[in-house]
């Protein structure tokens, strides 16, 4: 099982990097639209839709709304800094802040979001801001490198939490949602991010104040990735399933691989948009 998981992970990483740096911007955005569509397909099942027509209609609606958002914002250079983008990202981050209360309050909070219609609506707030953030980052000259940076931050938060949690984890972070996560693991993930960003900033010759800003943005992004993971875990637990799907051997579904990015990308993108001139 571990070997299968590692091989699938390596294949996904290589394919992602190849697409990110080899495809033109619109080509990669189109690929991310396909990922969005499949993630919406999986979310429809978690929300309680079982028929092909219902799940297909929801998937189409998510992609259509994404296209409307794209038309509203446009794909001009540096569109991440446009007021329209910032407004939508701010709404998304506000929703993720409220989602903390739902995770803390589970299972009682399921009374607010557990109904099928509301869970389907929740899926829009989970998936569409991630796609918007991808497009916004890729409107920047250094977009591909920034996308890789966010993916690495999410990976560092996950890896640090895994090893520290296994070694010394005792205090449960959200026992009703994800019993394996601990506060010690959360701090381990943050420590991994701090070490990586501080070392990278020093190596690149950044001024201490600039390194400090990058550290703040990176740490908040890492915390957001944990929240994204917990929200998907909460919905899966409410639904009574272990994985969102079976398309990725050893990993489950697409949502199981991008859950951290659903929150991390919009948080990072909004922070970058607001702090860009100081970074």
Collect all residues with Cβ–Cβ distance below 8 Å to 72 and sequence separation of at least 6.
84
For residues 158, 162, 168 and 170, what is the CA-based torsion angle, rounded to 10 degrees?
A: 80
Under the banding of pLDDT at 50, 70 and 90, the label for residue 26 is confident
Average of per-residue pLDDT values in the chain? 91
CB 195 within 8 A of CB 229: no
pLDDT in tens, 232-248: 999 999 999 988 887 87
CB 148 within 8 A of CB 180: no
Peptide bond into 107 cis (omega under 30): yes
| Main-chain dihedrals φ then ψ at residue 174, nearest 5 degrees | -155, 80
pTM score of the predicted model: 0.94
Collect all residues with Cβ–Cβ distance below 8 Å to 143 and sequence separation of at least 6.
25, 137
Of 30-39, 74-83, 166-175, 222-231, the least confident = 74-83
Mean pLDDT of the region 136-144: 91
CB 75 within 8 A of CB 33: no
pLDDT > 80? residue 262: yes
pLDDT in tens, 142-152: 999 999 999 99
Mean pLDDT of the region 67-82: 84
| Main-chain dihedrals φ then ψ at residue 72, nearest 5 degrees | -65, -40
Mean pLDDT of the region 149-170: 93
């Amino acid at each position: 099982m571990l070997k299968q998981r590692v091989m699938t992970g390596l294949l996904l990483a290589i394919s992602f990097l190849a697409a990110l740096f080899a495809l033109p911007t619109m080509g990669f955005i189109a690929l991310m639209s396909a990922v969005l569509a499949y993630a919406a397909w999986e979310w429809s099942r978690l929300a309680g839709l079982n028929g092909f027509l219902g799940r297909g209609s929801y998937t189409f609606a998510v992609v259509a709304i994404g296209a409307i958002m794209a038309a509203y914002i446009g794909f001009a250079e540096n569109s991440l800094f446009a007021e329209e983008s910032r407004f939508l990202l701010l709404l998304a981050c506000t929703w993720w802040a409220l989602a903390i209360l739902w995770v803390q309050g589970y299972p009682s909070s399921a009374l607010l979001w557990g109904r099928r219609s509301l869970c389907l609506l929740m899926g829009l707030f989970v998936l569409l801001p991630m796609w918007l953030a991808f497009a916004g980052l890729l409107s920047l000259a250094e977009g591909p490198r920034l996308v890789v940076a966010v993916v690495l931050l999410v990976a560092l938060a996950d890896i640090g939490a895994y090893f520290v949690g296994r070694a010394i984890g005792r205090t449960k972070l959200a026992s009703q949602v994800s019993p394996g996560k601990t506060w010690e693991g959360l701090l381990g993930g943050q420590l991994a991010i701090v070490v990586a960003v501080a070392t990278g900033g020093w190596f690149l010759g950044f001024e201490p104040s600039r390194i400090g800003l990058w550290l703040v943005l990176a740490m908040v992004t890492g915390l957001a990735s944990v929240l994204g993971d917990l929200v998907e875990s909460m919905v899966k637990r409410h639904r009574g399933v272990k994985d969102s799907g079976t398309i990725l051997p050893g990993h489950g579904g697409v949502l199981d691989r991008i859950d951290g990015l659903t929150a991390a990308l919009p948080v990072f993108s909004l922070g970058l948009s607001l702090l860009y001139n100081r970074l």
